[in-house]
Amino acid sequence: MPRPQLIGVPYDASSSFLRGAAAAPPLIRAAIHSAAGNSFTERGADLSHLADTGDLAIAEDAATARAQIQDAVERALAAGFGPIVLGGDHSITYPIMRAIATRHRALTILHVDAHGDLYDAFEGDRCSHACPFARIMEEQLCGRLVQVGIRTLTPHQRDQITRFGVETIEMQQFAAGARPSTRGPIYVSIDLDGLDPAFAPGVSHREPGGLSVRDVISMIHTLPGPIVGADIVECNPSQDLGGMTASVAAKLAREIAGAMLLQP
């Protein structure tokens, strides 16, 4: 199984409404290694030697940035690592998955988010952070897309869910007891606005009524198949309160890394 490796992607040029997520990776990394805690995850994995490439030097030009992100993930995979990418806005998931699909094309994506991110185009941009999963599904870069926590769907996005056969657990359904079912290799994509703003206020698109930190950790701990990679995106430090959201992102990254280390 791949060893986890952190990759920082300070890119937010494909954001709408508010930029700022590019500043998040070093703050999340600092929270991961904070002396306030220790190197062990909840289930006992030791992260004292967690691999880390640092932050990529990312071009402002979107097409160049996507190529740089894809190349970095391909190099991590070739070296035997499972990338845990610290964003950055959610547009980065598309080039990440272009790299992941070269080795794991039929995997399941577990996508935690308040939004479907399935627009065909948003504000004229087909690679906006509102569109990555439309591009992923068009190119058949995964076998299944399972979304959890969604609570802002438009009619167009509902049409896209039907078009692509997306398995969507809206937040109201999650609150009623519905849970994701996955199998085989898994890629985890966590947009921090999938959590309720009470837990993660430092995001650009706050949407009340979301998941708790424990909800997401429980999903990570119960994933049956091997986790081959992950991203944690949309932390916006300019909107954060006392580093709370960076700490949440760090906690989730640590538990994902621990799950990767403990999987057989």
pLDDT band at 138; cut points 50, 70, 90: very high
- Percent of the chain at pLDDT > 70 equals 100
- Whether this prediction's pTM lies above 0.85 is answered by yes
Amino acid at 214: R
Model confidence at 255: pLDDT above 90:
yes
Closest CA to 188 of 262, 252, 140, 134: 252
CB 230 within 8 A of CB 192: no
| Residue pointed to by tokens 């880390």 | 52
pLDDT of residue 150: 98
| Residue pointed to by tokens 């438009």 | 154
Residue 152 exposed, middle or buried by CB count within 10 Å (0-12, 13-18, 19+):
middle
The whole domain housing 39 covers: 3-262
Q: 99-137, pLDDT tens digit by residue? A: 999 999 899 999 999 999 999 999 999 999 999 999 999
| CA–CA distance, 171 with 151 (Å, rounded to integer) | 6
pLDDT of residue 225: 83
| E-assigned strand segments in 115-204 | 144-150, 167-170, 186-191
CATH, residue 209? 3.40.800.10
- Tally helices (H) and strands (E) across the chain: 8, 8
pLDDT of residue 264: 80
pLDDT of residue 14: 92
Q: 26-53, pLDDT tens digit by residue? A: 999 999 999 999 999 999 999 999 999 9
What total of structural domains would you count in the chain? Answer: 1
Look at strands 81-86 and 51-55 and give their pairing: unpaired
- Percent of the chain at pLDDT > 90 equals 96
- Which residues does 232 contact at the CB level (< 8 Å), separation at least 6? 28, 84, 85, 86, 87, 190, 192, 249, 252, 253, 256
pLDDT of residue 2: 82
